[in-house]
């Protein structure tokens, strides 16, 4: 399903939104993150995929590859550490962010406990950050989170709490435990009375957009390298973090934003229809585990409603097919390991190009220059192998051979 958002505007970035998420604050977060040994020092690659662009009939397809951001394997390594550092600084404003991430204040924080619900990647990022700063971490997992993802979180020292039910129920349980135990929730989704930390998470995600601007030589208040940006849905945090940066940087010359989510976890599309944050209408059980969210983040929606031009849903089968497309590569396209949620943008692009009328409406033609974000690699290796038909290491081997030609 695809809808055009009648509330999207082409205007300078509004001051009330800039007070919440800004280019300046994103750059500060990026500088702090550059000193954390949990992520790579440099920017993640921005790959050109000319063969894919030719097949889709567009001028350019570029892919920002967050799978190599850190050993955690996803973009979530950008959000949780920044949110944790900013929360600790609220309690101890005299501490140095770099010293925090280096663990030099571990003695002070040894009795401080953070907690979050997760589909996998956010919990892994929070657990790694908590280990670095020296505080305790509790992660609540719902029934659909795979044992592989659980083990990846636990290896960073987090205490795991398992519940029945879905992601939204795990969010509720995390809030209950925090209230009962005096712990601090560090979540990537907002709810009534809880916005500061989700805002900080989104600000960390904006690092991706900041790097794209630099990598493409973009100029403020001018059109950038891309006419269209496809972004993953979920609760809306990633999309809000990136879209807000691009919107402020490019102003009224911003690219068109298309947000893509699973058909059975369509909370953002339903929000667009309702004109307010809404719940998904489906089962919320998707192979795209990181996007299997039933409720829109109200904070994220404040940014998405005025700037996202289209909202669309895709079937699980479309995501699996997109994983295989990127894994295969081409004569001019590097083979890429992209996880189930990482390919949502490509799946959306393929579906939109297959609908001539819709593509025409959104200006997705032979002149279009498209940015995709691969938000995760094979964060669940067994699931990746099952879906793609080969292990991630085999794709990486072909990648090495492609580069060696």
Residues 171-193 pLDDT 10s: 899 999 999 999 999 988 888 88
pLDDT of residue 159: 94
342 and 195 share a domain?
Answer: no
Which of 167, 199, 231 is where one domain is finished? 199
Strands (E), 134-212: 136-141, 159-162, 184-185
Q: Within the chain, what is the greatest distance between any pair of CA atoms?
A: 61
297 and 150 share a domain?
Answer: no
- Whole-angstrom Cα distance, residue 205 to residue 187? 14
- Grouping H, G, I as helix, E, B as strand and the rest as coil, residue 229 is strand
* Closest residue by Cα to residue 288 from 326, 315, 259, 268: 315
pLDDT of residue 237: 94
Which of 199, 215, 250 is where one domain is finished? 199
Tokens of 199: 């805002």
CB 5 within 8 A of CB 307: no
243 and 261 share a domain?
Answer: yes
Predicted TM-score (pTM) of the model is 0.94
- Whole-angstrom Cα distance, residue 7 to residue 242? 19
- Whole-angstrom Cα distance, residue 241 to residue 206? 5
34 and 123 share a domain?
Answer: no
For 59-116, what is each residue's pLDDT tens digit?
999 999 999 998 888 898 899 999 999 999 999 999 999 999 999 999 999 999 999 9
- Whole-angstrom Cα distance, residue 13 to residue 173? 36
Residues of the chain short of pLDDT 70, as ranges, are: none
252 and 320 share a domain?
Answer: yes
Which of 178, 199, 220 is where one domain is finished? 199
250 and 337 share a domain?
Answer: yes
The residue assigned the tokens 């404003």 is 93
346 and 219 share a domain?
Answer: yes
CB 115 within 8 A of CB 139: yes
367 and 378 share a domain?
Answer: yes
119 and 248 share a domain?
Answer: no
8 and 124 share a domain?
Answer: no
pLDDT of residue 188: 83
Beta-sheet pairing, 228-232 with 184-185: unpaired
* Closest residue by Cα to residue 362 from 221, 229, 216: 229
Domain count, the chain: 2
CB 323 within 8 A of CB 221: no
- Whole-angstrom Cα distance, residue 372 to residue 344? 9
CATH number at residue 105: 3.40.50.1100
* Residues annotated as catalytic (active site), given as ranges: 76, 119
* Domain, as residue range, for 41: 2-74+202-404
- Cβ contacts of 73 within 8 Å, gap of 6 or more: 67, 121, 339, 376, 377, 378, 379
33 and 83 share a domain?
Answer: no
pLDDT of residue 217: 98
267-279 b/e (C-beta count within 10 Å ≥ 16 → b)? bbbbbbeeeebbb
E strand or H helix that includes residue 257: strand 256-262
CB 44 within 8 A of CB 211: yes
pLDDT of residue 41: 83
- CA 345 → CA 12, 318, 376, distances in Å? 25, 11, 12
140 and 233 share a domain?
Answer: no
Q: Listing from the earlier edge strand, what are the strands of the sheet with 256-262?
A: 2-4, 308-314, 256-262, 228-232, 369-374, 60-65, 46-48
Instruction: Provide φ and ψ at 376, rounded to 5°.
Output: -155, 155
């Amino acid at each position: 399903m695809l809808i055009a958002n009648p509330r999207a505007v082409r205007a300078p970035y509004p001051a009330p939104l800039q007070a919440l998420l800004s280019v300046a604050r994103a750059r500060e977060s990026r500088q702090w993150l550059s000193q954390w040994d949990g992520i790579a020092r440099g920017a993640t690659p921005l790959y050109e995929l000319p063969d894919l662009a030719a097949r889709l009939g567009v001028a350019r397809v570029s892919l920002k590859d967050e799978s190599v951001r850190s050993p955690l394997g996803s973009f979530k390594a950008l959000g949780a550490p920044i949110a944790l550092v900013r929360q600790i600084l609220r309690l101890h404003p005299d501490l140095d962010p770099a010293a925090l991430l280096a663990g030099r204040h571990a003695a002070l924080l040894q009795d401080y406990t953070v907690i979050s619900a997760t589909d996998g990647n956010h919990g892994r990022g929070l657990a790694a950050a908590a280990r670095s700063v020296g505080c305790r971490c509790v992660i609540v997992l719902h029934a659909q989170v795979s044992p592989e993802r659980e083990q990846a979180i636990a290896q960073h020292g987090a205490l795991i709490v398992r519940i029945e039910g879905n992601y939204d129920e795990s969010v509720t349980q995390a809030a209950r435990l925090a209230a009962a135990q005096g712990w601090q929730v560090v979540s990537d989704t907002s709810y009534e009375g809880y916005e500061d930390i989700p805002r900080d998470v989104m600000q960390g995600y904006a690092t991706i957009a900041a790097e794209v601007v630099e990598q493409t030589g973009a100029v403020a208040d001018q059109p950038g390298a891309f006419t269209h940006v496809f972004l993953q849905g979920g609760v809306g945090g990633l999309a809000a973090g990136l879209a807000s940066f691009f919107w402020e940087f490019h102003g009224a010359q911003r690219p068109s934003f298309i947000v893509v989510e699973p058909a059975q976890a369509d909370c953002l599309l339903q929000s667009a229809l309702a004109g307010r944050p809404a719940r998904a209408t489906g089962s919320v059980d998707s192979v795209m585990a990181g996007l299997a969210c039933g409720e829109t983040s109200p904070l994220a929606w404040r940014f998405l409603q005025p700037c996202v031009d289209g909202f669309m849903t895709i079937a699980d089968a479309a995501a699996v097919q997109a994983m295989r497309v990127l894994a295969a590569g081409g004569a001019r396209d590097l083979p890429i390991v992209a996880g189930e949620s990482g390919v949502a943008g490509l799946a959306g692009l393929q579906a939109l190009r297959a609908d001539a009328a819709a593509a025409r409406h959104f200006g997705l033609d032979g002149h279009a220059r498209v940015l995709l974000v691969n938000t995760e690699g094979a964060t669940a290796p067994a699931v990746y192998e099952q879906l793609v038909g080969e292990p991630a290491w085999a794709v990486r081997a072909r990648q090495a051979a492609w580069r060696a030609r």
